[in-house]
Amino acid sequence: MAKNPRQLKRNLLIVLKVLALLFFLGLFMVGGVAFGFVASIVKDQKVLSYEEMKQNIETNYLTGFAYFNDGTLIGKLPAEQDRRLVTLKEISPYVIDALISTEDKQFYSHHGVSLRGTARAIFQQFTGSEIQTGGSTITQQLVKQTLLEESYRKEISGEYKGDQLRKLKYNRKLNEIFLALRLERFFTKDQILEAYLNEMYFGKSARGSNLYGIQSAAKGIFGVDAKDLNLPQAAYLVGMLQNPGYYLPFKDKTLEEGLNRMKHVLEEMKQDGKITQAQYDEAIKYDIKAHLSSKEDSQSALDKYPFLLFEILERSAQALVEEDLIKQGYDINQIYSKENKDLYNDLLERKKKDILTKGYNIYTTIDKKLYDAFQAYAANPKNFWSNKTYTAKVGGKTIKVENAPQQLGAVLIDNKTGAILASIGGRDFKIEQTNHTASPRQPGSAMKPILAYAPAFETGVLLGPESPIDDSPIVLNYGKSNEHTPLNYDNKFHGIMSAREALKKSWNVPAIRVYLKVGIPEAQDFAKTMGITTLTEKDLQAQTGVIGGLERGVTVEELTNAYATFANGGTFIDAYLINRITTHDGQEIYKHRTVSKPVYSPETAYMITDMMRTVYQTGTGAAVRNMVEKVSGKHDFAGKTGTTNDANDLWFVGYSPSISLGVWTGFDIPYSMGRDQTRAKILWAGLMNETLKVKPDLSPKDLTFEKPPGIVNLAICSKSGELPSDLDREAGTVITGMFNKANLPTETCTVHQKARAVAVDNKMYLAQDSTPDDLVISKIFIKREPFQFPTKTNKPQSFYLPLDWMDTLPTEVDPRQEDGKTPSSPAGVKATADPSGKGVLLTWNNNPEGDVAGYRIYRSTGLSFERIASILQNMEKKYTDPNGSGGSGYYITAVDIAGNESAPSEVVTLNGSGSWNNQAGIPSRPSGIKIAETAAGVELTWDANPDQEQVTQYNIYYSAAKDGPFELLGNNSIPYFQHLTVDKEGWYQITAVNHVGESQPSKPVSLKKDSEAAPPAQGNPSQDQNGNPPPNPGDQGGSNPLDIPLAPGGTP
């Protein structure tokens, strides 16, 4: 029997209710399990407050920017991420529409999670669908990238696999849903959208920088701001969000994929009614490739200004650290102390991270036009040597350096403010990243004004530029194993000179002498006050630190900054690069404060400047002046060169009243620049000419150093630096010197003294009274400290004598003893044409006798000889007669310290020239001899020989007996001789001498009545009993060419 339809309907309803009940019971059971599962996952997720979530989603790695001194953009700071914050109003509406249509159509209607989207994603996941649309809303994606960034990074790290990875994803997804719901409770849709568009990653720019946020993407890919993106550009960028690397437009393959993705975005927008068909069609036709930002357009500041940007980063961090520590009560000098080193370094790293991630705007002192001009100069290979390949020792090992460029470090400073206007860190950052303006190198002589002369003026060690310094040997560590005698670059010592002259020629020894007299610690304290921070404890032992022998050296910036102190009248103004720093929203967090310290008086600063003016004008810097004046005309500059051993480092630092420029050049791994030591001068002149071309008002031609009122001129002795005496005036050593009127000389000079002196074995002695005046140095001498000679050297003592050593007043008398004999005639006499083409050059051998005082030169152009010169024994054995000719004859005699003069040497003429009469023959014997008694002895006279016999002298012989033997008593050039004797009964004979030889003797004469007796039995006195010649003419006396009657022994 059929059932009642109504009953059937009732039963069906009951079944459905039961099934429904069972279904809901099942749901509750499953739900309970699910709830427990979810609760177990999210229990460890901290419930974030509004402030915590706000901080997380707004704390992005923001791109910082640097600016030139006129506000022009230098570029982005070198961070890993390029991110620039913008507000929603500064974003093209096309971007917002494209994003919502593609990523989250229900964005404005859901509460953070889309159930439909989540269900679809789950379904696609479980069914293995080829199309995976994803279920995350914009809110969820923002949560994933900010609040759950750490979890997300674990997922993509590659560290987790299989079930472990799936569990990690599920965990993260559930937390993401939980946090998205919470986020939407506290933030508006616009806030979430703005945060999302500032956070998301858009791939890489044409130059390869990572683009975060829509503004960076717009700039990096299309070269426009986010607000100016058109429809196809906006669609392309939004499409990239799904897989930025896959859709990059800079390669054809990925561009094609990106265009397909853009088309999909446009279709979604059209379907949602955001754009019309016409807009769609026009957007599809748009040439994306033609509107991409090129590498040139998107060239980063890091590519163009690498040295500058890294320096900006470093110094900005330093500035912010100093600012923080000063606010905490630290003294500026405490900040860099050893005890605060760890604190400082920790803060420095934190500040660097802040600068790279917080979007700071850094405003520098750099002048764009000058900086670009400097970089162009550095990039021009014509201004440098070709690259070098060489070997060098590094860390005790010899390495080969290949294709190394000559490097350059330079900095230009505004003296009055300390602002760094331009710099060159190096020639090519890609080849060598060392910033040579900030890397210490040995400064060579460029330290002399800093460590020697300026401190000496300030402390009174020197009173002024004309104060004298003795350039004579200084033996450091005398007698010790590490004994050292510094040398000048020409290996000579130049004697007493002014400080101005010493700096002008850059002599090393005077600078070391002054440095040591000032005191090493005191001198280095001055340098530190002038901003030199690289000096070490070890440098306190560096006795040659003033010429560059430092442990680390100095930097270009600090040395240039120190020189600027002189331009500023002795006040140090610390150089700076960072003017101010603001946050990304314009809040100023740092403003430079000028730091100035008085170091020297204005008078000291002016005196050292005036000395370096001399260096620039006529000294080692004269080549710089020539190169600058040739291009830019005359300017008032002062400066100093610097060269290290082997010319590994070359410097020139110079300044005008308004700007200072320092230049170093060399190789990164030291290599000798050889003899071409003008490189730094060339580079300085080139950069200064660029400066004056680009910014002529920085240092006008009429701008000069102002002389302080305390500078006065005063007459002094150049050898003592004291007030002049009459003897100074006679010596010609009175000069006018520049002084600080607060520190003038007050004593009268006493260093000069008249004396007769001789030089023996490179030492000066007071001459003996018997030494003839023409063979001594008769002049005004200088009393000075005794010279110091090294004990550990293989060089002769003469090597260390200063060039003016013969001006030194001796303290000892000539120790030589007269040997009782007349010197032998000089040998090896030669006459040749002087190489200059003017006159006759005479040369001869040194006499063997140890008591010779010097030599006399005689010349004849006719029948008689006359003395024309005297050459001292210590001098070179040569003489040039400027009036000599082929017709001149010469002979030379030697004279000892008692005045005894030898017989003449052989007469010489120019070979084969002249009209010298060599046919005269031996003279006839003298006649007409008369002898007379005087109160003091015996007087002899006789007739002069004929002129044609060319007699040069007469020899007088004496014997107690008429028969001899006769011995030479003396000689004279005139027919007269006086013998001072008590015994008046002896016998005398006379001979005549010329260039050919000696005559026969005259008849013997005596005061005895038989004085007219026949000649003595021994015959010719020119031979002894063995037939040998008599003693060399003049052995017992000296000739007297001044026609003064001779006493016994030939003494005038």
Task: Report helix, strand or coil for 197.
Answer: helix
Tokens of 352: 């660097």
- Give the range with max mean pLDDT: 102-116, 233-247, 558-572: 558-572
Contact predicate 864/1015, CB 8 Å = no
Handedness of CA 737, 740, 746, 750 (dihedral sign): negative
Neighbours of 331 (CB within 10 A): 9
Least confident of 124-133, 290-299, 381-390, 723-732: 124-133
Asked whether the bond before 882 is cis by omega within 30 degrees of 0, the reply is no
Q: What percent of the chain has pLDDT above 90? A: 61
Q: State yes or no: pLDDT of 1001 exceeds 60.
A: yes
Radius of gyration of the chain (CA): 50
Instruction: Report which of 343, 339, 348 is spatially closest to residue 318, judged by C-alpha positions.
Output: 348
The arrangement of strands across the sheet holding 866-872 comes to 866-872, 852-860, 889-896
Q: Which segments of 882-1010 are extended strands (E)?
A: 889-896, 930-933, 937-941, 953-959, 967-972, 976-980, 987-993, 1005-1006
525-536, pLDDT tens digit by residue?
A: 999 999 999 999
Q: Give the residue with greater pLDDT, 499 vs 334.
A: 499
Both ends of the chain: CA-CA distance in Å? 185
pLDDT tens column, 29-80? 444 444 444 444 444 556 778 788 887 777 667 788 999 999 999 988 877 6
Identify the residue whose tokens are 């004697």. 495
pLDDT at 89: 96
Asked whether residue 739 carries a pLDDT value surpassing 70, the answer given is: yes
At 46, give phi and psi (nearest 5°): -65, 135
Q: Residue 358 corresponds to which tokens in the numbers above?
A: 């917080």
- What local confidence, expressed as pLDDT, does residue 295 receive? 58
- Give the span between the Cα atoms of 853 and 365, in whole angstroms: 72
What average pLDDT score do residues 628-655 get?
95
pLDDT of residue 579: 98
Q: What is the tens place of the pLDDT at every residue in 350-371?
A: 888 888 888 899 999 999 999 9
Q: Give the model confidence (pLDDT) of 401-436 as tens digits.
A: 988 899 999 999 999 999 999 999 998 877 777 899
pLDDT at 335: 66
* pLDDT at position 217: 94
Does position 682 have pLDDT exceeding 70, yes or no? yes
Predicted local confidence at residue 323, as pLDDT: 86
967-972 vs 953-959, strand pairing mode: antiparallel
Instruction: Tell me the mean pLDDT in the region 719-730.
Output: 97
C-alpha angle 456/462/468, rounded to 5°? Answer: 130
Task: Provide CB contacts within 8 A for 279, sequence distance 6+.
Answer: 231, 270
Band (689; pLDDT cuts 50, 70, 90): very high
Nearest CA among 939, 893, 897, 921 for reference residue 1034:
893
Q: Are 606 and 465 in contact (CB under 8 A)?
A: no
Query: pLDDT tens digits, residue range 195-230?
Result: 999 989 898 887 777 888 999 999 989 999 999 999
Domains 816-918 and 930-1050 share a fold: yes
Q: What is the mean pLDDT of residues 625-633?
A: 97
The pLDDT of residue 520 is above 80: yes
The full set of domain ranges for the chain reads 25-50+106-199, 711-740, 752-807, 816-918, 930-1050
| Residues 743, 762 contacting (CB under 8 angstroms) | no
What is the mean predicted confidence (pLDDT) over 826-854?
A: 93
Compute the distance between CA of residue 44 and CA of residue 39 in angstroms, rounded to an integer.
9
For residues 570 and 598, the answer to whether their CB atoms sit within 8 Å is: yes
Per-residue pLDDT band at 342 (split at 50, 70, 90): confident
Select the more confidently predicted residue: 598 or 305: 598
DSSP 8-state class, residue 528: H
pLDDT classification of 127: cutoffs 50, 70, 90? low
The yes-or-no verdict on residue 113 having pLDDT over 70 is yes
Residue 133 pLDDT level (bands cut at 50, 70, 90): low
Q: Which two tokens stand for residue 423?
A: 């710099």
Question: What confidence score (pLDDT) does residue 626 get?
Answer: 97
Winning range, highest mean pLDDT, from 635-639, 957-961, 972-976? 635-639
Confidence band of 919 (pLDDT split at 50, 70, 90)? very low
Rounded to the nearest integer, the mean pLDDT of the chain is 86
DSSP code for 720: T
pLDDT above 50 for 621 = yes
Higher pLDDT among residues 417 and 336, named by residue:
417
Task: Report the pLDDT averaged over residues 755-781.
Answer: 94
How is 539-563 classified by DSSP, letter by letter?
Answer: GGG-TTGGGT--SS-B-HHHHHHHH
Mean pLDDT of the 638-648 span: 92
More confident residue, 438 or 18: 438
The values of phi and psi at residue 1006, to 5°, are: -155, 165
Average pLDDT for 501-514: 98
Sign (positive/negative) of CA torsion 1026, 1028, 1034, 1035? negative
CA distance 318 to 340: 14
Backbone angles phi, psi at 734, to 5 degrees: -85, 125
Contact 192, 185 (CB under 8 A): no
Partnered with residue 400 across adjacent β-strands are: 391
Q: List the structure tokens of 166.
A: 């799936």
State how far the Cα of 474 lies from the Cα of 492, in Å rounded to an integer: 13
Cα distance between residue 859 and residue 907, in whole Å: 9
pLDDT at 29: 44
- Tell me the per-residue pLDDT of 933-954, one tens digit each, with 9 for 90 and over: 998 899 999 999 988 788 889 9
Task: Work out the average pLDDT over 708-716.
Answer: 98
Q: Residue 443's closest CA among 640, 222, 704?
A: 640
Whole-number pLDDT of residue 155: 63
Tokens of 210: 């990572």
Instruction: Domain 816-918: state its class.
Output: mainly beta
What percent of the chain lies above the pLDDT cut of 70?
85
Second-level CATH architecture of 930-1050: Sandwich (2.60)
CA torsion, ordered 972, 973, 978, 983, to nearest 10 deg: 40
- HEC string of 362-379? EEECCCHHHHHHHHHHHH
Higher confidence at residue 159 or residue 326?
A: 326
676: tokens are 């071409």
